[in-house]
Structure 1
Amino acid sequence: MRLDLTVTVLLGTLLQPCLCMPKSHILNLRSEAHAMFHHGYDSYFKFAFPADEIRPLSCIPLSRDNQPENFALNDVLGNYSVTAVDSLSALAILSHTSAHSHEQFWRTVQNIVDVYYPTGFDRDAKVQVFETVIRGVGGLVSAHEFAVGLLPMAGIPGVGINGWKYENQLLHLAHDLATRLLPAFTTDTGIPYPRVNLKYGCVNVRPEDEDAEANEKCRKDDEEAEKGGFKPLWNERTETCAAGAGSLTLELSTLSRLLQRFKEDYPEEVEKLKKAKDGLRHKWDDVEVFEKVSQDAFWSVWERRSELNLVGAGLDAVTGSWEQQSGSLAGIGASTDSFFEYAMKTYILLSASPTVPSLANPEPSPPLAYFDAFEQAAAAINKHMLVDSPAVFYQGVHMQTGDAMVQWVDSLSAFWPGLLVLAGNVSIAEKACLFYTALWQRHQALPERYIPARQIVALQWWPGRPEFAESVYHLYRATKDVWYLRVGEMILRDIQRRCWGRCGWGGLQDVRSGEVSDRMESFMLSETAAYLYLLFDDDHPLHKGDQAWVFTTEGHPIIMPPQKRIRGKRSAIRNTDMQMHRQGYGRTKAPTCENPKMLKQEPEVGALFSRVASRTDTFHSYNAVGLNLLPPYVPRQPTRITLLDNENTVQEFGYYNDKDEENPYRYLIPYSPTNGSFYPWTLPPEIISPMAYCGKLPNEHKLDLVFSVTQTKPGETPPPGWINIRGGVLINSLSGLRLGFEKQLVEDTIEYFVTKIGDRVISRDEIVVIEKVNIDTLHVDGGIRFQTSKDEGYEVVFDFETEHKPRPTPTPTSTKDSLKDKKFEIKLDGEDLSDEFRTQVEKILRESLLRHLPTENTNTVPERTLTAQPLTPDSNKFLIRRHLHAILSSGIGAVESPPLAGRTHSMLHSMVHVVPSPTLPWRSVYVAGLACDQPLPSIAATYPVILFKRGKCPFSQKMSNVPTSSAVKLAIVVNFDESVPTHAGYEEVVDFDGGGGVNDWVALRDDHLIRPLLDRYQVDSRNGQRRKNPVALVFVGGGEATYRALADARAVGLRERWKVTLDGLLVGNLVPVV
């Protein structure tokens, strides 16, 4: 029985209270997030403080070790109670609903003051600048703002437990810690060294006398260090990353403003602090320095972006150059993520309080400059990294070319949807978040790296990262869709079930097996737990009001302190605005955010149901991560299940943390009430609109393959990955290329066709040429998916000499677009381009390439010439190579294996169209005509190639008129039948005098060629005896045009035709050549 639509809607109205998440359930989840935080933090504070961390399984403190190269541990742990400092802001957030959190906040502050305030962070610990700023400085600054009431917190600002009075100690400690990091900013590039010693300052040297004062400036060479009484510690690594260098502006700019305000409000206290000989380090005479060096570092990174506005990962702090390997990778995950985040958030933060020009910083960047940088970067990311099928995610690309470079997606990139929300692009953020939601359900966590194309885990651990929870939080704040509450519930339940330890929450060593790591990084509490708590606390004071505050990349809320109204302030801001317009940052229309309520989503649903759950593409992502591979149901007890992935590989999956019987969440059932493909597993099916439907999976007949980048030698210029040729594209190198394939039906047979190479669209009538050896040695995803096999046809290859300069290769890409995309080639259309204009364009490209190559290797840059080269410098003749599809004869007189020319092409290693090479074996052609009436003259026996016209007599008779000679290698018969549909096409193939274009690389297939029948044995025309070595006969089309071209050929050869299959299906337009 089918319900009427009116009845359905009426029923939905009656059931409305049941379809949404009940308020009591939301409050319960908030309470559980609160308990999650305090289970970890209280254990740390009880058993580990003042150590940096606690081991959640063994309940012992964790501190840095004495291994200098153990960066994974020692970059973060600086012996300054990282977990306590990093968690203060989370305690302040939780204090609104918990007296325990409020008390624990002030108890922690008092303990930190007692331990560190007398001497500051005077620790012989070499730490990473980035981690120390975001966890240490950021944690202290945010906690200070909560403590003094700049950010909302329960209780009376500045008053702790039992009336303890707060006197800005956290601010002074943040000042001390940031001052100890300043020696890292002494590079000539403005990019900070990646690490610095908190006690001695210098990154690579330290005093021999440990009681000596630390040097403020880092030494740059060993000789200078020895003169100053310093000795090197070890070979210092100066490689940093875009995120590490460019993600310091929020914390350090806010610190500068707070210190400026403190100097104005408490000048006498500042004088006392300046006179103190022992204790805290400070920069009271130049508190603006923190804001300046952090912003200079941001712009130093941005200025080094590629012409595509892509930012690489690794770069050298001393030289400012991108690292050879890591520097070429542009992405939104590890090493680049927070750079984009801070571009957007610095704009938000500074918009309320722009940097005022000063003597130390006379021309500060206006807030809109950061927004402009974010817009350019986001546009480049969407153009080059966005993959929209079968799900929306972002791939890593080469920063100079935009070509795909890696296949994996890392868990850090899950922050991107949340950042898109802040930028107003909610629609794309929703689509991107679906992929991470499905991936989380697939593995009950986010693996560090995942390869969507293969649906496999590349790096298996999850250390408790907060990026996914952060994006879910922001999307819920923007849309208020109950879907995100259910996703947050899934995250919370899976952490409870899989990560519980007696003294905290361990990360997962392997998301597949469920093995728990005995380490709880501070962000598990300060970010992951805090974001989940705020997700379920709609009434939190942080969600009220319209002040410009932001979360740092470590989840610390910060806000600029209010400025005093002083004379000249308005004019200073007005001057900043004028400077902003002079620099081109002004806009005729103020940027606005998308209103998610105005987005046109289909199907439209009311408030009764989840709009995200009712989208037509919501469940497309399940297919992209392999949720469909899971069994329909999971046993309702702790166990591991075994399943086959899409490559028929056995995988074990641990659904429970069943190693610790004390885990109170051990028996949570992590599965949907419907089936394994339904995600999140906490989603009730009832919140999906009854009128919703799942759209057809996009691109189900499409396949994308991404090939890894082949590293080149230092200073070596890689060849262009692909170039345009006559009739299609030549692939020179698969390094870093992304190839798109599509299945099509051809005469009742399914075949693959190459449809895209990078961003180059391959039309239906184009071919893709590749060297056969590149296919034969190719392994994709660890297996052999491509196979080559011989085609039944052959190709006649011949060279033709002409005095007409061939036209440039035609291409669908315009000059403007090609220069903008900066591939390693120029693409020019049309005949009306003057040589002068073409020379100017080549000069522009050459200079552009030189700017991105080391100066000592500039002589290695090849010329990018598009025209064919003369045979000799003094010659005005050009040699052009052409190919004709040929069919070998059959019958008792035929040759089974004709003589082949071997290699007929050398792949291009530059854009120069040189004289064709290697040379072809047969250097002369005897033009025989019909050759039916009498034997050919004896002179024909000296020619390696005999050329016939078809007609008048059988093929066997023509061959009987050829004199026997070992010099004769090949006979070619040309078809003159004009009724053949493909006949007219040969006019363009052999159009030399009209300037028909430069060399082609493969013959166009002619399915109308016949196979010549030699029904008699070949005999000698002079004595009638059977030949011991018959001559090979091939048949070609084209009539008079082909006949004249072959008659005048300077050289001829014969080669085999090959074809390629992918996963057993023929690739119709991919042609391997030898």
Structure 2
Amino acid sequence: MRPSRIAELRQDTVDMFYHGFNNYMNIAFPEDELRPVSCIPLTRDPINPRNVELNDVLGNYSLTLIDSLSTLAILASAPPDSRDTGPKALRDFQEGVAALVVQYGDGRHGPTGQGARGRGFDVDSKVQVFETVIRGVGGLLSAHLFAVGELPISGYDPQRTNIDVEQHPIAWPNGFKYDGQLLRLALDLAQRLLPAFYTQTGMPYPRVNLRHGIPFYLNSPLHNNISLDPDQAQDTAEITETCSAGAGSLVLEFTVLSRLTGDTRFEQAAKRAFWAVWSRRSNIGLIGAGVDAEAGHWIGGFSGIGAGIDSFFEYALKTHILLSGHELPNLTIPHTAPYGSWLDPNQLYQPLSEQDNSPDSFLDAWHHAHAAIKRHLYSGVHHPHYVNAHISTGSPQAYWIDSLGAYYSGLLALAGELDEAIETHLLYTALWTRYSALPERWSVRDGTVEGGLGWWPGRPEFIESTYHLYRATRDPWYLYSGEMVLRDIIRRCRTECGWSGLQDVRTGEMSDRMESFFLGETAKYLYLLFDSEHPLNNLDAAYVFTTEGHPLIIPHKNVGQRPRKPPVEKAVQPHYKDNFTNTCPVPPVLPPLSGSATAARPDLYNAATLIRLHQVPNIHSDSDITAQLEQSGSREKQANKPRENHTYFPWTLPPSMLPSDGVCSVSKQVHTSVIEFPSNTQQSVGSAFNLMFGGHNLVRMGSEGIAINSLSGLKLALVMEEPPETSERAWRISSIGNLVLGRDEKVFITRDVLADIADPLFHRVRDSVLVDILLQTKAREPVQDHNLTSAVPEPSLESQPTIDIQEASLSATNLFNSLLHQITSALREPATTVGPEPAPKPDYLYTEMPAITPVGVGVAPLPDVREAPNPHRNPQVESLSWKLIYFADQACEAKLPDIAAKNHHVIVMRRGGCSFSEKLANIPSFAPHRNALQLVIVVSDDRDALSEGEEDTWGFNFIRPLLDEPQRTRAGVTRHHPISMLMVGGGEDAYELLKTAKSLGLRRRYHVESQGLNINNLVVL
């Protein structure tokens, strides 16, 4: 893009900002926002205080002015032009600061602290904590950092390095002396939010009254400490539902406030709230949107990247950036505060640890959060996008994307995930091209606006990501995307007194409101996109933009840090993992002719077809308008008569940017298969289960997956997974009927259900590596916990806890047995689980020991014995297959006695002392007989572990034993009937447990294949 055209776009952005800002100052000041269609101030709803859609944002203070100050400071660095843009913006910035002080005072306790509207923010308004922090506190802090020169303004040098601004004020040309008024006002506003943090969880209540605190939260410790007039009391309880973004996205603003003032309350409260949200993530690493600030439980089961969750991920990464290179905060709470009263909710809790304060901990949280998103929410079908999934299972719940989610591409660019950022940004660019705005929700599945939610209130998220991607790649494609946004806003949203949002992007109906973030973020990011030489774009420092678009930085000379000697042993180690992105990648090389690597991507049209862009008339196609704009910079009005459909995007992109030899990759589609089972009312096992669970064939086993009681009438949908998703090609059950499964959800089925299935698309295959040894012991004998799961009577299904994989002592081994215990208990006869009479106590207890088969030329097949019964369904059998057991210790010193093989079914040995082949050689010769030796069990110590990084499918702590030579007797004679062998883990505990066995049995393991490929997430129990 030619420099003259960029300069024109930059000036149009300045004009756009001032058209809204000047009208706000002339009409609405000092109210909250502006109604551009009505051209009147927009204020809170005085009739209905519970109109939270309006009142949550508006605080009955000069919200738009505060939100606009940092934009004015950025415009003050505009390059010289005929309109004197930079000096004018600096004057307006200084006038805006002075006007705020006139209205709200200078933040002090004396006479100067009283403004025309009140002393600070002492207003009787119930505000949303999150919105007040990001707009009010963040806007004041950012403006303060510009005012004192910590953030750059071209030509403005207050020369106050290491000088107390309160003692040495900065004189401005308008006669105002800046001595930190904005910082003190930010402190005043933030202190009024602290009562919201008096909760049991550390997460703040969603709302607080700026004057009276939170008497409307009945369970707050402060409820009885604040007296109100009767007419101010609340007759109904306030809702305690907040969101992950609202509770966890306060760290940037509150940390900067604490570091600038030396007041530790805010940083600690905000970080505690962040970790309170993160600690409640599900077993698969997802967080929900709604959460109860009092009880701490999730409200609703949805997880995504958009509304209610978005800025939590943003603040995880940006807190790491902001705090990098700084000392940990002062953990000592002073007895008196430097400003105001000492209202400190942190006194309810233990101080945060160094780990909680470390920037590396926030990077760790970001990495794991993004990994969970990539695993469970990222859909690569057709073109990459993010779905909404169940927080615990990861199963898709909704197939729409929202306009708030457009921020994620920019966040990925900051995190170094550049390719994912580029490909996901393409989708939003195509969506904007289709609607000339972003609808609030858009259905990927239906290709239409979701649920009538078609408004666009001027949100900045898409242009924010466009800005970050241009900074990361310098690809002019993003400049054309920014031009598209600017042209469409001017065409559709301009009013006589400002800029409206769109009530419906399809019809162009305007909304009667100009949000403060339109001036505070949307105009700001557009301007910075078109001013690549802006000092903020070239600032070599750890600064960040908040979720409201306010740049913040922690000066290295700030107070509130404590000097620390280098520790002998670091408590917090730098975070690093090979599979996480820890360095910024090299951006794609720009092609020499077209000049855009993004326009040359083979998946460009995949995004367009997913948005159905090729089916939409292109109103911008008349008379080759884009070519005219490129050649002459003309601003002539565009014709509205469409001549063609869209073939590429953004619509401002000149055809010359497209490569002449470009290719279009085939949209990624998944290979699917469907298996339908006929209805069979006579199928065994089903009757008992159906009586218990109301005739259903399925039951959910916590967050682990679905148990199938009967295949009768079920329809299974399978998708093909290929490397690198799996080690080899395999199927995954994606849905059962209308029940969609998550990526890592398992489907559990007992082998009894599979016994009579004869389907070429669904057949069981015996596992040649793993088996289970079943131990029968007398019930009166105490059975200790040997890290093995015993089949003791189980509680009812309703009372069974969710299994935590991370806490299982033997990893997948324990998980397998625990799930087997739960699922098969659900399939027991109803007489043992329901009814007025208690089930009789069993005579025997059963324990399953996972065992592994050997490899090598000396391997003998396992004995062909009747499979041991399911211990959880038929616990009372007289005896299992083998009752006579001989214990031979290591069996390395000498030949075992003849009776060991002739009169015993099983020989148990300890591992070690000699090779496996030598152990078998020490077993004397014997004639095969049903009462003679059938099996050798070798017990491996837990210390005999795999080499680092090795682990078999079930998490066993040992590898398959090797029989590297044919089996021989001690005399060297080859055995005509080789001996079957298995190895179990558990060491001494397992060896002693085997001694208590009354009898032993063998249970085979199975997996299910379809069309020659394994079904990976189907577990046969």
Q: TM-score range by the shorter chain?
A: 0.5 to 0.7
- Identify the match of residue 47 of structure 1 among 2, 5, 27: 27
1:64–1:74: 8 Å Cα contact kept in structure 2? yes
- Identify the match of residue 669 of structure 2 among 699, 705, 724: 699
Partner of 2:177: helix, strand, or coil?
coil
- Identify the match of residue 347 of structure 1 among 320, 331, 345: 320
Residue 69 (structure 1) shift: 1.5
Please show how residues 220-259 of structure 1 align to structure 2 within 5 Å: 231-259=233-261
Q: Which amino acid aligns with 1:301?
A: V
Residue 407 (structure 1) shift: 1.4
The answer for the alignment partner of 1:69 in structure 2 is 50
230-239 or 181-190, which moves further after superposition? Answer: 230-239
Structure-2 change in CA distance of 1:829 and 1:509 (3 Å): farther
2:702–2:803: 8 Å Cα contact kept in structure 1? no
Partner of 1:196: helix, strand, or coil?
strand
The 2-side partners of 1:329 and 1:767 are apart by: 21
Please show how residues 569-648 of structure 1 align to structure 2 within 5 Å: 569=563, 571=565, 574-575=566-567, 578-581=570-573, 585=575, 592-597=582-587, 605-606=591-592, 608-631=594-617
Residue 242 (structure 1) shift: 0.7
Partner of 2:307: helix, strand, or coil?
coil
The 1-side partners of 2:581 and 2:657 are apart by: 34
Please show how residues 865-944 of structure 1 align to structure 2 within 5 Å: 865-866=823-824
The answer for the alignment partner of 2:430 in structure 1 is 438
Please show how residues 544-943 of structure 1 align to structure 2 within 5 Å: 544-563=538-557, 569=563, 571=565, 574-575=566-567, 578-581=570-573, 585=575, 592-597=582-587, 605-606=591-592, 608-631=594-617, 667-668=637-638, 675-699=645-669, 718=700, 830-832=770-772, 839=789, 848-849=802-803, 864-866=822-824
1:425–1:593: 8 Å Cα contact kept in structure 2? no
The 1-side partners of 2:608 and 2:475 are apart by: 20
Flag structure 1 segments of 5+ consecutive residues without an equivalent.
1-20, 207-216, 261-286, 638-663, 705-711, 742-753, 779-796, 801-807, 813-827, 853-860, 879-910, 916-992, 1006-1074
Residue 330 (structure 1) shift: 1.3
The answer for the alignment partner of 1:122 in structure 2 is 122
The 1-side partners of 2:132 and 2:614 are apart by: 43
Q: Which amino acid aligns with 2:532?
A: D
838-847 or 428-437, which moves further after superposition? Answer: 838-847
Residue 159 (structure 1) shift: 3.8
The 1-side partners of 2:230 and 2:426 are apart by: 58
Q: Deviations over 1:170-207 (max 9, x none)?
A: 1110010001001001112110110000011125179x
Structure-2 change in CA distance of 1:731 and 1:798 (3 Å): closer
TM-score normalised by structure 1 residue count: 0.61
Partner of 1:235: helix, strand, or coil?
coil
Residue 848 (structure 1) shift: 4.3
1:56–1:518: 8 Å Cα contact kept in structure 2? yes
Q: Which amino acid aligns with 2:408?
A: W
Please show how residues 303-314 of structure 1 align to structure 2 within 5 Å: 303-314=279-290
The answer for the alignment partner of 1:428 in structure 2 is 420
The 2-side partners of 1:149 and 1:673 are apart by: 53
Structure-2 change in CA distance of 1:563 and 1:447 (3 Å): same
Q: Which amino acid aligns with 1:699?
A: Q
The answer for the alignment partner of 2:370 in structure 1 is 378
The answer for the alignment partner of 2:388 in structure 1 is 396
Structure-2 change in CA distance of 1:199 and 1:674 (3 Å): same
Q: Deviations over 1:830-885 (max 9, x none)?
A: 31466676627999996544899xxxxxxxx9952459978788799x9xxxxxxx
2:602–2:665: 8 Å Cα contact kept in structure 1? yes
Does structure 1 residue 363 correspond to structure 2 residue 353? yes
Please show how residues 474-489 of structure 1 align to structure 2 within 5 Å: 474-489=468-483
1:37–1:529: 8 Å Cα contact kept in structure 2? yes
219-228 or 421-430, which moves further after superposition? Answer: 219-228
The answer for the alignment partner of 1:1030 in structure 2 is none
353-362 or 168-177, which moves further after superposition? Answer: 353-362
Please show how residues 255-274 of structure 1 align to structure 2 within 5 Å: 255-260=257-262
The answer for the alignment partner of 2:405 in structure 1 is 413
Partner of 1:177: helix, strand, or coil?
helix
The answer for the alignment partner of 2:678 in structure 1 is none
Residue 443 (structure 1) shift: 1.1
Residue 595 (structure 1) shift: 2.6
Q: Deviations over 1:290-333 (max 9, x none)?
A: 1111111111111111121111111111111112x2xx211110
The answer for the alignment partner of 1:169 in structure 2 is 181
Residue 799 (structure 1) shift: 9.6
The 2-side partners of 1:585 and 1:221 are apart by: 42
The answer for the alignment partner of 2:516 in structure 1 is 522
Residue 674 (structure 1) shift: 7.4
The 1-side partners of 2:157 and 2:332 are apart by: 38
Q: Which amino acid aligns with 1:70?
A: N
1:355–1:366: 8 Å Cα contact kept in structure 2? yes
Structure-2 change in CA distance of 1:607 and 1:672 (3 Å): farther
The 1-side partners of 2:400 and 2:26 are apart by: 40
The answer for the alignment partner of 1:1033 in structure 2 is none
Q: Which amino acid aligns with 1:363?
A: S
The 2-side partners of 1:607 and 1:405 are apart by: 44
- Identify the match of residue 105 of structure 1 among 84, 90, 93: 93
How large is the Cα RMSD of the aligned pairs?
4.8
1:312–1:399: 8 Å Cα contact kept in structure 2? yes
Flag structure 2 segments of 5+ consecutive residues without an equivalent.
79-84, 106-113, 159-169, 334-350, 624-633, 675-692, 741-752, 757-762, 776-785, 807-818, 833-839, 847-869, 875-1000, 1012-1021
TM-score normalised by structure 2 residue count: 0.64
Q: Which amino acid aligns with 2:547?
A: T
Structure-2 change in CA distance of 1:241 and 1:862 (3 Å): farther
Q: Deviations over 1:41-64 (max 9, x none)?
A: 111011110000110111100100
Partner of 2:127: helix, strand, or coil?
strand
Q: Deviations over 1:883-929 (max 9, x none)?
A: xxxxxxxxxxxxxxxxxxxxxxxxxxxx99869xxxxxxxxxxxxxx
Q: Deviations over 1:668-725 (max 9, x none)?
A: 3589997413110000110122232212222287799xxxxxxx9xxx9956799789
Please show how residues 964-1003 of structure 1 align to structure 2 within 5 Å: none
Partner of 1:485: helix, strand, or coil?
helix
How much identity, in percent, do the aligned residues show? 42
The answer for the alignment partner of 1:953 in structure 2 is none
Partner of 1:298: helix, strand, or coil?
helix
Q: State the number of aligned residues.
A: 730
Q: Which amino acid aligns with 2:95?
A: R
Residue 104 (structure 1) shift: 1.3
Structure-2 change in CA distance of 1:740 and 1:288 (3 Å): same
Partner of 1:405: helix, strand, or coil?
strand
Q: Which amino acid aligns with 1:309?
A: G
Q: Which amino acid aligns with 2:253?
A: E
The 2-side partners of 1:128 and 1:518 are apart by: 22
Q: Which amino acid aligns with 2:512?
A: D
Q: Which amino acid aligns with 1:189?
A: T
Q: Deviations over 1:64-101 (max 9, x none)?
A: 01212211110010011100001100010011122221
Does structure 1 residue 454 correspond to structure 2 residue 439? no
Structure-2 change in CA distance of 1:350 and 1:700 (3 Å): closer
1:140–1:171: 8 Å Cα contact kept in structure 2? yes
Structure-2 change in CA distance of 1:368 and 1:764 (3 Å): closer
Does structure 1 residue 86 correspond to structure 2 residue 67? yes
2:202–2:273: 8 Å Cα contact kept in structure 1? yes
Q: Which amino acid aligns with 1:335?
A: G
Q: Deviations over 1:375-430 (max 9, x none)?
A: 01111110110011211111111111111122111111111011111111111100
Partner of 1:153: helix, strand, or coil?
coil
Q: Deviations over 1:554-578 (max 9, x none)?
A: 000010022269997252xx34981
